Structure formats: structure tokens, C-alpha cells
Structure 1
Amino acid sequence: MEAQLETLSRLVGEHLQAKGWRLASAESCTGGWVAEVVTATAGSSAWFDCGFITYSNDAKCALLGVSPMTLARYGAVSEQTTAAMARGTLERSEADLALSISGVAGPTGGSPEKPVGTVCFGWVRTGEAAQTATCHFDGDREAVRRQAVIFALEELLRRYR
């Protein structure tokens, strides 16, 4: 694993262990990359519970409890959906903190409202309201996905100090 991702994973692990928290993830466009990054860190079983790869809308509904109405109204790439994904992940895991990612990594699939590179995120901790964000990343499919993984983990550290 490249040095930046390795360092970020180590920092997330140290932070979560210091808090006594476990993490779970729900990923769409990143296809499990967050889970891969964190589980590449030795000892991550102490602070990472599980990851859901919910690429299709049906999987988001069936595995995470995202409402079909939310998907119909806002779309899979929306803060409303990533908030629901994060809440569903927390409810269906032993984690204390969950993050979620859904986006348009490209090279196709974008629209004028949600162009390629649009990625939405959600984070939620037990007993708290979900937090969300939307970013617009540049580059090819791999670059968009990589930037999404980095942003999700860096924001976790920033938001849950």
C-alpha cells in the first residue's frame, strides 16, 4: 500500500483505539477500498468491525435499510443517501462510528447536476446525528476513488477528535 494511505490508516487506528471506538464502512463507488486500506494495518481487528459494499441501489436498501423513497427523490449520489447508508451501517454492525461513500467515479455516469467526480460522504457516531459532505474530485476513475478514500478517512479524524 502506498505510504500516504498506510499512514492515514495507522492514524485512524490509533485515534479509534484511543477513543475505544470501532469503525464500520459502507461503500459504493470505492468498492471496499476504505475497508482494504484499514484492514491492511496490522492490529486493525481491534478497531475495525466490518464493511458493506453496496454498489447497487437494491443492495443499499436490502443491506443498509436505505429507503427506496430516499433513492428515488435524491438519488444514490446524495448526502441524504450517504447519511442513511452511514446510519444503516451503524445499526447493522458492532461499530461505534460508521462512514459511507457514494459517487460518480466515471468515466461515464455523470449528469449536469452530478458530474463525474461528484462524491457524497456520511459519518455517524452512536447517539449522534449523521454528518455529510459532497466533494468534486478531478482525474480518472482511480484518482476519484483514491481521493474519496483519503477524504473519508481524513474527515473522520477531523470530525471526531
Structure 2
Amino acid sequence: MGQYVVFKSHQQLFALPVEIVKRVIETEKFISLPEVPDYILGVYEYQEQMLPIVDLCKKLYNNFSPVTVDSKVILSQWKGRTMGIFVEEIIGIIVLQETDYAKDLDKAALKHPYISKFLKMENEEVVIDLNLNYLFNDEQEAEIVESLEAAPAESGKEENTEDAAEL
């Protein structure tokens, strides 16, 4: 059992351990970058750093997340950096139970490295625990890092007047 930030993307429930989540922000304004993969929505300035914002739905399901009043960005630790994950909706911070489902998927060769484990909510809904360190292959990771290095510094940043919600 552990505490997780549970969220929805492509009508699937996902979770990140609360230990790696820095903050949840409400914004859909990002600095657009040329020549980046389409799942990178752009970068966002946070505490004088430019953070990549990844549309999880586009990355995993090849469909852009719908932008609604429930859309949020989860700022999380990723390989010694911070990354934003654009999601459809935050469900909440929930204590979840581990399952043995990952073993069955391993046997069927259906489990991806970014699936850390499967968890269950009290209502028996299954939640995928994401391992962000394995969400991208080496080439994709290099593209993200390069896009950050090419991102404009504070000049030309998109002004964001929306309030951020702390966890």
C-alpha cells in the first residue's frame, strides 16, 4: 500500500507515487517549440526553469488529450529533472493496494517497462502505476533534453496568470 496521485488519461486511470510529484498546476499555456515530437506540448517556466510538458494521452495512445476545465499538469521528477505531464483529470491523492496482475502481463509479453505495477482502488478499479523513467526510449529522451536546451530562457516566455494548486 502507498499514497499515489491518481489521474485520468484516455479514460484510463494512472498513478504516480506522491514522492515524485512536486506540484499540480492549472494551465494550458505553454511555449511552443519547433521540431519536437508531437506529444511534447511545449515548455513551461516554473521556478526559473523551463520544463517540458508531455501529453500523456498522445504519447501512449496517439490521441491528444482534450482540454477541459479538469485538465491539469502534474510536475514530477524525471531522471533528475522536472517534467510536466498533461492529463485529463486529477482524481486525487489515494492510498492504493498492489495487485499481482503485472506477472500475468509479463507472461503474455504485454507489459511495457513504463508500467511499474497495477494497483486497485477501494471500488476495485484498476490503476496503472507509471514509471516515468521508462516512458521514453533513449532517442525520445534525447529529443526532450535537446528541446529543453533549445528552449528560450525567460525572454519570450508565455505569460501565465493562472493560479497553481499545490499538493
Judging by fraction of residues, say which structure has more strand.
2
Report the structure number with the largest CA radius of gyration.
Answer: 2
Judging by fraction of residues, say which structure has more helix.
1
TM-score (norm 1): 0.25
TM-score (norm 2): 0.24
